[in-house]
């Protein structure tokens, strides 16, 4: 078993985390890869030889991210594909465009925080609708490819915000306009991410799938707060005291490339190491209930 105390930690960068990995021949997908943590995750994985699909809502921004990656690492296999996690049709179209029999790793990185109440397909509040339900649909659409070679990996980029609120309020989810709070919606979405990863592991681990979740770092200045000018200002203000984007991507890299699958399966990570999630996030009954409720939201077929 890995002695995590002597490996990567809070100051590890994405490039350091991938430095000894040869990912040649692997197909990896990173959602929200056009900027921030997602970009550095996708860039670093491509630098180690993987074919990386930058799954982005804005195709022009995604293409620019691929160009930056190619400029930094000439000759790597990086491509952009349009994906709007708020649109069921876009998710279906994206999955159908994957021109491979198998997918090795799916990193569910995309997310958002704050701004006014808005809805996505299915009349769902968009924070949970994009961060959890959109990724649920994406994983479901790609399950045949993820399971094709004896099991791929699904990495959910969650947050320590999954601890607040401390419980998943099924009576309020999905939030209505009258109930909406940006902080509550984000905390519930991140709790859903951790629960989804653990339930994925329970349901499909026997078929070889490996699923885990992680906290990339607190208040890293990404564009996740693009819908909230106040949150964006606060993130910029404290940025000298937080991880930079390259460091924030390191835990995603560890979860996506760690060679011993049994050491990451179903676990939650922070600072490139395992960490105990909240009691609610560890509750098997809650995870199963969330799965069933999500199927109700999207239609079980």
What is the rounded end-to-end Cα distance, in angstroms, of the chain?
40
Q: Which stretches of 51-134 are DSSP H helices? A: 59-72, 88-97, 126-128
DSSP conformation class of 57: S
Quick one: which of 25, 149, 36, 32 has its CA closest to 77?
25
Quick one: which of 92, 77, 112 has its CA closest to 231?
112
What is the distance between the alpha carbons of residues 295 and 293, in angstroms, rounded to a whole number?
A: 5
- Per the annotation, the verdict on 204 as an active-site residue is no
Residue of 180, 186, 204, 268 with catalytic role: 186
Q: Is 272 left (phi over 0), alpha (psi -120 to 50) or beta?
A: left
What is the distance between the alpha carbons of residues 116 and 151, in angstroms, rounded to a whole number?
A: 39
What is the distance between the alpha carbons of residues 50 and 6, in angstroms, rounded to a whole number?
A: 26
What is the distance between the alpha carbons of residues 20 and 48, in angstroms, rounded to a whole number?
A: 8
Output the six-digit token pair for 111.
Answer: 């997310």
DSSP conformation class of 8: -
What is the distance between the alpha carbons of residues 131 and 227, in angstroms, rounded to a whole number?
A: 14
What is the distance between the alpha carbons of residues 55 and 29, in angstroms, rounded to a whole number?
A: 7
Q: Show which residues are catalytic.
A: 186
């Amino acid at each position: 078993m890995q002695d995590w105390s002597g490996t990567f930690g809070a100051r590890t960068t994405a490039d350091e985390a991938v430095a000894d990995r040869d990912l040649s021949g692997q197909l990896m997908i990173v959602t929200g890869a056009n900027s921030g943590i997602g970009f550095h995750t996708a860039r670093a994985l491509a630098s180690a030889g993987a074919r990386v699909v930058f799954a982005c809502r804005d195709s022009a921004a995604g293409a620019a991210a691929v160009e930056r990656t190619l400029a930094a690492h000439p000759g790597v296999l990086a491509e952009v594909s349009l994906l709007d996690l708020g649109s069921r049709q876009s998710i279906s179209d994206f999955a159908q465009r994957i021109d491979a029999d198998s997918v090795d790793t799916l990193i569910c990185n995309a997310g958002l925080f704050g701004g006014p109440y808005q809805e996505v397909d299915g009349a769902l509040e968009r924070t949970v609708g994009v961060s959890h339900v959109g990724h649920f649909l994406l994983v479901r659409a790609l399950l045949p490819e993820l399971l094709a070679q004896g099991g791929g990996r699904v990495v959910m980029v969650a947050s320590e915000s999954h601890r607040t609120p401390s419980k998943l309020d099924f009576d309020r989810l999905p939030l209505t306009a009258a109930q909406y709070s940006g902080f509550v919606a984000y905390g519930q979405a991140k709790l859903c991410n951790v629960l989804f990863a653990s339930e994925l592991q329970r349901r499909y681990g026997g078929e070889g799938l490996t699923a885990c979740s992680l906290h990339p770092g607190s208040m890293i200045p990404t564009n996740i707060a693009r819908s909230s000018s106040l949150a964006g200002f606060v993130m910029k203000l404290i940025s000298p005291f937080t991880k930079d984007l390259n460091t924030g991507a390191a835990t995603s890299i560890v979860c996506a490339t760690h060679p011993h699958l049994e050491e990451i399966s179903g676990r939650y990570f922070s600072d490139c190491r395992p960490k105990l999630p909240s009691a609610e996030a560890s509750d098997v009954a809650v995870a199963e209930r969330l799965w069933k409720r999500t199927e109700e939201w999207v239609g079980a077929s």
